[in-house]
Amino acid sequence: MATTRLHIDWTACDGRGLCAELLPHLIGRDEWGYPAALTGGVSARSDIPIGQADLEAADEAVALCPLVALRLLAD
């Protein structure tokens, strides 16, 4: 079964946090305001596993990100 991940491109993001507001149980913000996964190691902080229940909100975050810094990836 494919795994869906929400990838955050920190080089494009400006750290305003809209995605963290849409997925507050999955995405927090670091000390500079940039979004990062609440769980997982450092290398996984910009690739957030998305379960079926969060797909709609993740889709919305991708569509609303003002800097096109979010993508949904399927493994």
The position carrying tokens 């993001």 is 13
Candidates 29, 27, 30, 31; CA nearest to 5 is: 27
**Closest approach of ligand SF4 to the CB of residue 53, in Å:** 20
Build a one-symbol-per-residue string for 4-43: x at contacts with ligand SF4 by CB under 6 A, - elsewhere.
Answer: ----x----xxxxxxx---------------x--------
* CA neighbor of 58 nearest in space, from 1, 5, 11, 3: 5
Structure tokens, 56 = 């709609």
Please identify, using beta-carbon distances, which residue of 7 and 39 lies nearer to ligand SF4. Answer: 7
Binding region for ligand SF4 (CB under 6 A): 8, 13-19, 35, 65-67, 69-70
